[in-house]
Structure 1
Amino acid sequence: MSLPIPLMTIGLLLLANVFMTFAWYGHLKHPGASLITVIFISWGIAFFEYVLQVPANRIGYGYFNAAQLKTIQEIITLSVFAVFSIFWLKEPLSWNHFVGFAFIAAGGFFIFHKW
């Protein structure tokens, strides 16, 4: 039995974003590491993001249009980053972050609403 397309798409995008968030921001916790080292490690981590991201978009396209896929991606990215920021970087988010994220999520409403 196959999972529904929206569930597969969103699940793969969620996993892809975990990898990409670590690829882009994980090294910030290690400021003493050389730049070339973190670039290559980040590329290695990003490979797994692409292994998940590309199939997510291929599976989801047709059920979702491209703008909807990108909107899902961005909302997931902010959600993953918020958790990452708090638990990995130990940087708390304040009210203004949540207001900004809410405005971006509101943009999702306009993308997905049938007018």
Structure 2
Amino acid sequence: MEPGSGPAGYRVLCSKRISMPAISPSLLPILMLFASNVFMTFAWYGHLKFKDHSLPIVILVSWGIAFFEYWLAVPANRWGSEVYSAAQLKTMQEVITLVVFAAFSVLYLKEPLGWNHALGFAFIAAGAFFIFHRWS
């Protein structure tokens, strides 16, 4: 077994107790953040289609959905920190959140997005450019 590799094609990061699937270390955190954001968006906003359900039930269901979001977000950030800075991870998280929420809003909630939303998202994307661009 090569140094830094683990059983069954898993790469070992930080310690032998933490292993990451053998996929691009740059890509895996992004994919996991996308998946975690789907759970997060449903946990926070999915109940808006079920306003007839009691608030305590909605809170418990949302909490249960959010549990799975954490199972994806925490390792995504842990493994992502091997490749990205904390500022880059947070920026990715925010951009991914907006992309997932925009799709959720249109497809699930059936709420249209206007030009003002597109412009606001463009400004956020511009901010992400400044975070990721190397200025040296």
TM-based fold match above 0.5: yes
- Once the two structures are superposed, residues 20-48 of structure 1 have per-residue CA deviations (whole angstroms, 9 ceiling, x without a partner) of 00000000011111110000000000000
Q: Which has the larger radius of gyration?
A: 2
TM-score (structure 1 length as normaliser): 0.98
Trace 1:15-54 onto structure 2 (pairs within 5 A). 15-54=35-74
SS of equivalent residue, structure 2 residue 23: coil
Trace 1:1-115 onto structure 2 (pairs within 5 A). 1=9, 2-115=22-135
Percent sequence identity over aligned pairs:
64
Q: Which runs of 4+ in 1 moved over 2 A?
A: none
* In structure 2, C-alpha distance between the alignment counterparts of 1:31 and 1:24, rounded to whole Å: 13
Task: Structure 1 unaligned segments of length 5 or more: list them.
Answer: none
2:3 alignment counterpart: none
Give RMSD over aligned pairs: 0.7
Pick the structure with more strand per residue. Answer: 2
Q: Which has the higher contact order (CA 8 A, sep 6+)?
A: 1
